[in-house]
Structure 1
Amino acid sequence: MNKKLLSITIPNRGILLLLIYIITYSNISAQKKEESPNWHIPDLSETETNLISKDTYVEIEDVIPIRNTKYKIRVPKNWNGTLISDLDYYDAANSKKYLYLLEKGYAMSGTKRRPGRLSNYDPAHEIHDIISVLDIFEATFGKPGRTIQYGCSGGGTITLAIAEIHPDRFDGGIAGCGATSPWMANTHLDGLFVLKALIAPELPIIDLPLYNPEIGEVEKKWKEAISEAQKTPEGRARIALAITIGQWPAWGGPGEAPHDAPNEDDYLALQESMFNSLFMLLPSQGTFGTTMLELSGGGQLKSNDGIDYKELYNNGYEKYKSAVNKLYKEAGINLKDDLKKVNAFPRIEADAVAKKYWSAPGRTHIGEPKIPLLRIHTKGDGLVYPSMAQGYEDLVKANGYHDFYRSAFVERWGHCSFSLSEFLAALETMEQRLDKGEWPDTSSKSMNERANKLLSNSESKFFEMERVEKYNRVWIPTKKEYLGE
C-alpha cells in the first residue's frame, strides 16, 4: 500500500470513503470484478455492421503520455473539413454512428475513459486529454475547418464545460444526457432523503461503498423497505412524494424499458411507474454515480443543509404533484405533516474540500456557453435526470447566453439511448447554426422532420418535455467554496 496515500490530510468523512475504497478493492482484487448494469449507451460497444475499408481513411491509435490515456483519430480521404471530437470515440469508432459519418467525410477523434475513473474521476483532466488529442490532430492533419465536441453521459458533462471554457478551440458542442456533478449529487440526495425520513430511517444514503458484497447488502435492504412500502396506501403516497421532490423521472432506468411510459393523467398508473423506476435506482453497484464523485473530491459532496423540502415539492412537475395529492387523500394521511417531518429530519452537510474540488473550471458548470451548444436528453434517464437540463437552460437564460444555447428532448427510456437519426438531426441542427449564425427551428416537430429526412429507417422521437416549476439544485460556487473555506 502506498504510505503517501494515507498521509494526505482530508476530513474524517473523506478518509472513511477512501478506506472503504481501499478495503473493498483489496477484497475483490483476486476476483473477477462485476460489471455495472447496462445503462443503454449503444455507441460505446462494437456494433455489428459492415466495416469501412481502411484504404479510405488514415488512422492514428496511441497513448497520451501524461496520463496513459488511449486515443484514436480517423480522417477519411474525402474529409469535408469538420472534426467530431468525443470523449468515448476510442471504443465507439466502429459504431454505426461513426462509420456512417466517416463515409460522409467527417474526421473523428477522441479517447478511451481512463482506468481508475471510479475512484479518481476528474472531468477537467478528461478535457485536458481531449485537447491533447486535438493538438495531435492539428499537428498531423492541420487545423479543421470546424471542430464540434460531442459526448454522452460523462462525455456530455465535458461538452458542457468545453462550451463554457474553451471557445478558442471548439466551434460548437452537442451534449447528450450530460450531468453537472454537484447538481446531480444533490438531486440524487433529495429523493433518497425523503425515503429515509419517511420510510427507512435506519438505511444509509451517503458514504456508500462502490462494490459488492457491501453495496449489495445495502441494495437488498433498500429494495425490501420500498417493496413493503408499496404494499400500503401510505407507502405508495410517500414513494410518489420522494420522486416528486427529487425531480426524478417516473419512467426511467438502465437497460431496456420494462414497461411503456405511463399515462401521467392516471395517478395510479403514474405511481406504479414511479415505484418500478425507483426500484431500479436505489443504492446499488449500478448507481455508483455520486459515490465516485465523493471519492474523487476527497469528501462528502451531497448537502441539504438549509433546504426547505416544502419549497422543493412545490417546484415539482404538476402532474406528479397532482398524483401525490390524490394518493395522500386516498391514504388518509396529511401531506403537510409529512413535509414537516422531512424538514425536521437530521441534515447532511458537504465537506469544504469536496466543494472546493468541484468548484474548479471543467468540473462544474455556471451557465455561460460561449459557443453554440445543443443539449439533448432522453425522458427516461434515471441516471442524469432531465430536470437538470432544464435547470441549466434557465441559468443560461438568466445569464444572458441563450443565443448560444438550445435543448431538445427524446421520449425514450434509458440513459443516452438516442437513435442514429436523432443524433444526425442534432448534428445537422448544429451545422446549420454554425453555417448561418442563427439557430434553425429546434421544436420537436422540426427535429423529427430533420431526422426522418436524413435517415428514414431510424426511429425519431423528439417531443416537448413537460417542465418542472423550477429545478431545485442549481449550484454556483462562491468565492469561499472555490477557496475551500
Structure 2
Amino acid sequence: MLAASAASIAAPVAPAYAAAPAEHIEGRLPSGAVYVMDKPVDWNGTVVLFSHGYRPAGTPLAAQNAPDDATKALLLEKGYALIGSSYATNGWAVADAVPDQLATLDVFTGRVGPARRTIAWGMSYGGLVTTAIAERHPERIDGSLSTCGLVHGGVANWNNTLDPVFALKTLLAPGSSVDLAGFPDQASAAAASGTLSTAVAGAQATPEGRARIALAAALHDIPGWNATSQPKPAPDDWNAQQANQYQALQGLLALPAFIWRQEAESRAGGNMSWNTGVDYTKMLRRSPVFKEVTELYHDAGLSLKNDLRALNRAPRISADPAAVDWMSRTSAFTGRLRKPQLDIHTTGDALVPVQTESAYRRATTAAGSSSRLRQAYVDNAGHCTFSPAEQMAALHTLEKRLSSGHWQGTDPASLNATAAGADPTTPARYIPYRPAPYPRPYDLAHPADGR
C-alpha cells in the first residue's frame, strides 16, 4: 500500500500542453548574467526556477537549472521545464541574483508561454535566493523548495561565521594581531586565514588544543560527522568526532571565514558582523555538541570555565551599522510567506548547519506564516548531499501541497515512500529530527534582536 501510495504521489502531472519539440535554450540577460532553459517534449506545464549555490567572486559565470545531472534527467523525464541563470556577478550576489532569476522567468514566458505552475528551487546559497523570491515576489511563483539553504539569512550567517574564529584566536593565538573582520582587500583576508589556520593545525597535536578546537566547532554547531568520506563515529567517540570537526573548521578558515567574508564586506561597505553582548557560556550550553566539549576538556585536564571566562572577557568586535543595514535589507528574512515552502536539510551539514532551519521556523512563527512552511531532514553527512530520490520526493510533496491546499505526506515514512516511487535506485533517508535552536538568529520579524 505504501508503494502504491508513493507511486501515485510521484506520478507526473498529465501533460497540459500539446506536444512540441524539446528545446534547449541558452542566452544572456541585459545584466550580463547567462541563462539556460530545457523544455521537454511532453512538458507537464510546470517550470522549475533553479537558483544555484555560492560561487566565489572572479570565477566564470555559468548558468545552472538543476541541482545535479541525475536529478535533472529525472525532472526532464517527468516533464518539467527547467530554467536558471548565473547571477550577474559571483560572490555574495543576492542583490543581483533575485532580479536575474526573475528576468530569466520572463524570458521563458516570452519565448515558450506561461507556465501552469512555477516552483522556485534553490540549493545552499541558492536557498537564500529562493527564499528571498518567495518573501518578496510571491506573485511570481506558486511555491518554493529550499534544499540545504541559508534560510537563516545573511546577517545571522556572518555572525555565526565570526563566533568560531573569535574563539580560535582568543584561545589558540591570544597574542596574535590577526584581524577577524574589516578586511581592506583579499590579500589581508588571505594572510589572516593563513595565520589562524597554522595556529589551529598546531593545536590539533595536543589534547588541550583539540578540546579548544571542539569548543570553537560547537559555537558554529559543526557536527561530529560532517562529510561522507568520514566513517560515522560512535555517539560517545569524542576523539573521532573532534577530528571530523577539525577538518570542517580548517575548511571554514580557508574560505568562508576570511576570503568570502571580505568579498561580502566589500558589497556591504564595511563589517556586517558583531559579537558585542554575546554570552559564549550560554551559547555553548545550547549546542548539540556540548557534551563532547565537556568530555574533551575533562580528558585534557583543562578548565572549561576558565576558557569561557577568557572568551567572555576578550575584546569584542563591533559592526558597521551601515553594513548591517545593507546586509539586513538584502539578505535577512521577514518570515512572511505568502506561498507554501518546503525546506530539506541534511543533519550532518558543517557549512550551513541544520540549526538554520530553527532560525527560519522562528521567523515564520513570529510573522504568523508558519503554516505555509514545512521542514524535513535527511540522515546524511555533508552539505547538500541529497540523493536524486530525496530531492524528487521533496518536489512531489510540495506539488501535492499546491494541488490539495494542505500539507500531507511530510512525515519521514511518507517522504521515503515517495522517494522510492520516484527513483528506487538511490537512497531515501528521511528521519524524524528536530534541530536545536540556532545559536544567534537574526531576522526582520524580531527587529530589536542584536541591534
TM-score with structure 1 setting the length:
0.79
Please list, as runs of the form range in 1=range in 2, the aligned pairs for 1:322-341 lying within 5 A after superposition. Answer: 322-341=291-310
Q: Distance in 2 between matches of 1:192 and 1:399?
A: 32
* SS of residue paired to 2:82: strand
Q: Residues 329, 466 of structure 1: CA spacing in aligned structure 2 closer, same or farther, 3 A cutoff? A: farther
Which residue of structure 2 aligns with residue 184 of structure 1? 157
Shift of 1:133: 1.7
Shift of 1:269: 2.7
Shift of 1:198: 1.0
Q: Distance in 2 between matches of 1:429 and 1:151?
A: 16
Please list, as runs of the form range in 1=range in 2, the aligned pairs for 1:349-388 lying within 5 A after superposition. Answer: 349-360=318-329, 362-388=330-356
* SS of residue paired to 2:355: helix
* SS of residue paired to 1:91: coil
Which residue of structure 2 aligns with residue 123 of structure 1? 94
Q: Distance in 2 between matches of 1:412 and 1:301?
A: 32
* SS of residue paired to 2:331: coil
Q: Distance in 2 between matches of 1:285 and 1:367?
A: 25
Please list, as runs of the form range in 1=range in 2, the aligned pairs for 1:33-432 lying within 5 A after superposition. Answer: 56-65=21-30, 67-88=31-52, 90-92=63-65, 95-115=69-89, 117-118=90-91, 121-179=92-150, 180-201=153-174, 202=176, 203-207=178-182, 217-252=191-226, 257-284=228-255, 288-317=259-288, 320-360=289-329, 362-432=330-400
Contact 1:87 1:113 in 2 (8 A): no
Q: Residues 285, 274 of structure 1: CA spacing in aligned structure 2 closer, same or farther, 3 A cutoff? A: closer
* SS of residue paired to 2:254: coil
Contact 1:432 1:439 in 2 (8 A): yes
Q: Distance in 2 between matches of 1:389 and 1:78?
A: 36
Question: 1:70-94: CA deviations, max 9, x gaps?
Answer: 1122322311111101124933568
Which amino acid counterpart does residue 379 of structure 1 have in structure 2?
T
Q: Residues 285, 244 of structure 1: CA spacing in aligned structure 2 closer, same or farther, 3 A cutoff? A: closer
Which amino acid counterpart does residue 379 of structure 2 have in structure 1?
E
Q: Distance in 1 between matches of 2:223 and 2:183?
A: 23
Shift of 1:217: 4.6
Which residue of structure 2 aligns with residue 474 of structure 1? 441
Residue 425 of structure 2, aligned match among 446, 457, 460: 457
Contact 1:183 1:388 in 2 (8 A): no
Question: 1:228-264: CA deviations, max 9, x gaps?
Answer: 22222222221111111222333336xxx33122223
Shift of 1:267: 2.5
Q: Distance in 2 between matches of 1:99 and 1:308?
A: 48
Shift of 1:166: 1.5
Shift of 1:210: 7.3
Q: Distance in 1 between matches of 2:331 and 2:256?
A: 23
Contact 1:251 1:413 in 2 (8 A): yes
Which amino acid counterpart does residue 439 of structure 1 have in structure 2?
W
* SS of residue paired to 1:173: strand
RMSD, matched Cα: 2.7
Shift of 1:138: 2.2
* SS of residue paired to 1:293: helix
Q: Residues 208, 111 of structure 1: CA spacing in aligned structure 2 closer, same or farther, 3 A cutoff? A: same
Shift of 1:285: 7.7
Q: Residues 471, 478 of structure 1: CA spacing in aligned structure 2 closer, same or farther, 3 A cutoff? A: closer
Shift of 1:328: 1.9
Q: Residues 298, 217 of structure 1: CA spacing in aligned structure 2 closer, same or farther, 3 A cutoff? A: closer
Q: Distance in 1 between matches of 2:160 and 2:432?
A: 22
Contact 1:187 1:247 in 2 (8 A): no
Contact 2:134 2:339 in 1 (8 A): yes
Q: Distance in 2 between matches of 1:248 and 1:73?
A: 36
* SS of residue paired to 1:204: coil
Which amino acid counterpart does residue 197 of structure 2 have in structure 1?
K
Contact 2:165 2:257 in 1 (8 A): no
Question: 1:123-174: CA deviations, max 9, x gaps?
Answer: 1321111111222222333321110000112211111112212211101101
Contact 1:222 1:283 in 2 (8 A): no
Q: Distance in 2 between matches of 1:352 and 1:341?
A: 27
Q: Distance in 2 between matches of 1:288 and 1:178?
A: 21
* SS of residue paired to 2:34: strand
Contact 2:35 2:85 in 1 (8 A): yes
Q: Residues 168, 284 of structure 1: CA spacing in aligned structure 2 closer, same or farther, 3 A cutoff? A: closer
Q: Residues 399, 265 of structure 1: CA spacing in aligned structure 2 closer, same or farther, 3 A cutoff? A: farther
Q: Distance in 2 between matches of 1:290 and 1:251?
A: 25
Contact 1:215 1:285 in 2 (8 A): no
Contact 1:250 1:277 in 2 (8 A): no
Shift of 1:286: 9.3
Shift of 1:211: 5.4
Shift of 1:200: 1.5
Q: Distance in 2 between matches of 1:380 and 1:207?
A: 31
Question: 1:264-323: CA deviations, max 9, x gaps?
Answer: 333233223222322332234897443322121111011111111112112211xx1112
Q: Distance in 1 between matches of 2:41 and 2:340?
A: 28
Shift of 1:479: 11
Which amino acid counterpart does residue 193 of structure 1 have in structure 2?
F
Shift of 1:444: 2.5
Between stretches 403-412 and 93-102, larger displacement belongs to: 93-102
Contact 2:50 2:64 in 1 (8 A): no
Give 5+ residue unaligned stretches, structure 1.
1-54
Equivalent pairs counted in the alignment come to 418
Which amino acid counterpart does residue 168 of structure 1 have in structure 2?
E
* SS of residue paired to 1:258: coil
Give 5+ residue unaligned stretches, structure 2.
1-19, 53-61
Shift of 1:343: 0.7
